[in-house]
Amino acid sequence: MPSDQDNKQLQELEARLAAEQKRHHEELRQFAYVVSHDLREPVRMIVSYTQLLERRYLAQLDADAAEFMQYISDATTRVDRLLADLLTYSHQFRDPDRPLELVDAEGALQGALLTLDPEISASGAAITNDPLPPVPFDFAQLNQLFRQLISNAIKFRSDKPPRVHISASDVGDAIQFSVRDNGVGIDPRYREQIFGVFKRLHGREVPGTGIGLAICKRIVDQCGGRVWVEPATEQGSIFHFTIPR
């Protein structure tokens, strides 16, 4: 049977490991922030001056030069989007010592829909939901989860107008949220891969940076929950994530 001294040493070791883990997380977050924030300024300068050159001198360029200018503009715009998403990813860090509050999930969803209104209107998407219970979480991060998953459903739509439904169920020690869509679906071989950073399945024909689902996974992992995807019964996918009570 462990002695009081053994228990004390074990507690001290656990405390040191927790502090070290927290320090590493903070260093990684700061590194990602500095990289994405400081690099965006020169990238934006390239974008701005490329656009200026196009406006002033496009008429003087031959077809090849105009095409090259477009390549530069497209590439730098893509880099800026990548850095912006990396910045968002680096911000998804929750201090484990900060207590969670009871969050209005309905309010978080409505906030996400308000932000996504231009995408929803342009695509003709219909977003519906069942009543959603309050959960112990972070409001901004829950809003981010809904926003990423709904935006993902709209982006990877089929030839039909997007239909997205959000629901929640009690699974005992957690609340499980589900976001169902009628999109193109996901090959079973890639259901784990899609949650990695910069993982893209559709190449550049579909806009995006491949960070959205990685952001979702990081948020859910930090709260001790789980996120996964499965095929819908008829067409599309259902993304699930759990939030422990």
Mean pLDDT score, 82-96: 68
Hey, what CATH topology would domain 4-91 get? Helix Hairpins (1.10.287)
Mean pLDDT score, 135-140: 90
Q: For 31-35, 172-176, 179-183, 238-242, which range has the lowest pLDDT when averaged over its residues?
A: 31-35
Mean pLDDT score, 100-126: 93
- Give the range with max mean pLDDT: 10-14, 101-105, 130-134, 136-140: 130-134
Mean pLDDT score, 38-61: 84
Would you call 122 helix, strand, or coil by DSSP?
helix
Between the alpha carbon of residue 123 and those of residues 31, 155, 234, the distances in Å are 36, 9, 21
Kindly indicate the confidence band of residue 175, based on its pLDDT and cuts at 50, 70 and 90.
Answer: very high
Give the residue extent of every domain in the chain. Answer: 4-91, 101-244
Top CATH class, 101-244 = alpha beta
Cβ proximity of 181 and 128 under 8 Å:
no
Q: For 2-6, 80-84, 111-115, 140-144, which range has the lowest pLDDT when averaged over its residues?
A: 2-6
pLDDT at 36: 67
Distance CA 117, CA 162 (A): 13
Q: Which helix (H) or strand (E) holds 178?
A: strand 174-181
Residue 122: pLDDT above 90? yes
Interval 204-227: pLDDT, tens: 555 555 678 888 888 898 888 999
- What is the dihedral angle through the alpha carbons of 215, 129, 118, 51, rounded to the nearest 10 degrees? 10
Kindly indicate the confidence band of residue 16, based on its pLDDT and cuts at 50, 70 and 90.
Answer: confident
Scan for tokens 């320090």, then name that residue.
Answer: 23
pLDDT at 113: 95
pLDDT at 208: 53
The mean predicted confidence, pLDDT, of the chain is 82
* Cβ-count burial 111-150 (b if 16+ within 10 Å, e if not): bbbebbeeebeeeebebebeebbebebbeebbbbbbbbbb
Mean pLDDT score, 59-67: 85
Mean pLDDT score, 57-70: 85
Identify which of 202, 198, 156 has the alpha carbon closest to the alpha carbon of residue 181. Answer: 156
